[in-house]
């Protein structure tokens, strides 16, 4: 999570795509071949940890292989997960979605600068109750920025053009009301590296961010020693005013 590879595209993908392996016993493959086929097929579909719960339910009470529904947050891996499943269907926030394409934006662009300052403001507000312990952070450097716009298919989708819902009517002209920006920046003091996705409301001209969608991409070590035990949720954000205590001396 905190090595130099985390700053690369590969490292970013690995944070969002944790490895999971399933070993199916031969008796399951022989008894329920369709279910085993679905598991192999789902290797190439969008899956989430929430799919494990219905999978375990199937292990206890299997009712047969079936086609999963995108309206369900969790779909059993023994079911066929639809190829049309998106991060929105699976309740995956844009910051954690590995299926999105980000358009790179210049770090000097005014809206990127505002997004970066909004992020640091949110972090400082988050640590404000412990300001006697934690430094207020400032932007040291913006290293990367990108923006995500809704896909053309999403903006032009109006309704289903057929009874079965397989053919879309793409004649709508939905106005874009929100843009998601992602910024990577360094802060001072402490040289922390943060990555976050912020929603920009075009009508209100405001940025918002969920603190759980803010990633710390380098080690914080002893920087949050003053809140490590008392306020563990601040560990990746707090740079303590006082230096860490020296390690105990070995008296032997």
pLDDT tens for each residue of 80-97: 998 888 888 888 877 777
Q: Is the pLDDT of residue 29 over 60?
A: yes
pLDDT at 77: 93
pLDDT at 7: 61
User: Is the C-alpha dihedral spanning 68, 74, 77, 82 positive or negative?
Assistant: positive
Q: What's the whole-number mean pLDDT along residues 98-107?
A: 82
Contact status, residue 213 vs residue 93, Cβ threshold 8 Å: yes
pLDDT at 148: 83
- Highest average pLDDT, of 52-61, 106-115, 147-156, 207-216, comes from 106-115
pLDDT at 102: 77
**Neighbour-count burial of 217, counting CB atoms closer than 10 A to its CB (0-12 exposed, 13-18 middle, 19+ buried):** buried
pLDDT at 176: 66
Confidence of residue 169 (pLDDT cuts 50, 70, 90): very low
SS3 103: strand
Least reliable range by pLDDT among 18-27, 37-46, 97-106, 131-140: 97-106
Q: Is the pLDDT of residue 150 over 80?
A: no
Distance CA 234, CA 227 (A): 7
Please give the backbone phi and psi of residue 55, each rounded to the nearest 5 degrees, phi first: -65, -45
The tokens for 84 are 């049309």
> What is the pLDDT of the chain when averaged over all its residues?
84
Longest dimension (CA), the chain: 82
pLDDT at 100: 66
Q: Is the pLDDT of residue 157 over 50?
A: no
User: All domains of the chain, ordered by start, with CATH?
Assistant: 18-96 (no CATH), 103-234 (3.10.450.10)
Confidence of residue 170 (pLDDT cuts 50, 70, 90): very low
Q: What's the whole-number mean pLDDT along residues 210-221?
A: 91
Contacts of residue 161, defined as CB under 8 A and 6 or more positions apart, other chains included, come to 167, 168, 169
Q: Is the pLDDT of residue 78 over 50?
A: yes
Q: What's the whole-number mean pLDDT along residues 50-57?
A: 93
Angle 154-46-176 (CA atoms, 0-180°, nearest 5)? 20
Distance CA 81, CA 137 (A): 44
| pTM exceeding the 0.85 threshold for the entire prediction | no
């Amino acid at each position: 999570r905190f090595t130099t590879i985390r700053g690369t595209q590969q490292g970013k993908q690995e944070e969002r795509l944790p490895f999971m392996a399933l070993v199916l016993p031969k008796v399951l493959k022989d008894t329920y071949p369709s279910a085993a086929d679905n598991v192999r097929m789902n290797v190439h579909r969008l899956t989430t940890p929430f799919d494990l719960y219905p999978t375990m339910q199937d292990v206890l009470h299997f009712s047969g292989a079936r086609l999963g529904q995108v309206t369900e947050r969790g779909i059993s891996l023994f079911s066929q997960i639809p190829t049309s499943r998106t991060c929105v269907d699976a309740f995956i926030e844009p910051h954690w979605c590995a299926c999105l394409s980000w358009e790179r934006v210049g770090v000097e662009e005014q809206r990127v600068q505002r997004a970066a300052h909004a992020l640091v403001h949110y972090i400082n507000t988050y640590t404000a109750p412990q300001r006697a312990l934690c430094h207020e952070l400032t932007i040291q450097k913006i290293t990367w920025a990108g923006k995500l716009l809704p896909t053309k298919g999403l903006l032009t989708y109006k309704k289903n053009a057929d009874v079965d819902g397989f053919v879309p009517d793409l004649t709508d002209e939905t106005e874009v009301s929100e843009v998601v920006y992602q910024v990577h920046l360094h802060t001072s003091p402490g040289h922390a590296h943060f990555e976050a996705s912020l929603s920009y409301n075009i009508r209100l001209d405001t940025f918002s961010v969920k603190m759980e969608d803010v990633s710390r991409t380098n080690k914080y070590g002893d920087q949050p020693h003053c809140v490590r035990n008392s306020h563990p949720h601040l560990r990746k954000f707090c740079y303590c005013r006082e230096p860490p205590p020296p390690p105990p001396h070995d008296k032997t």
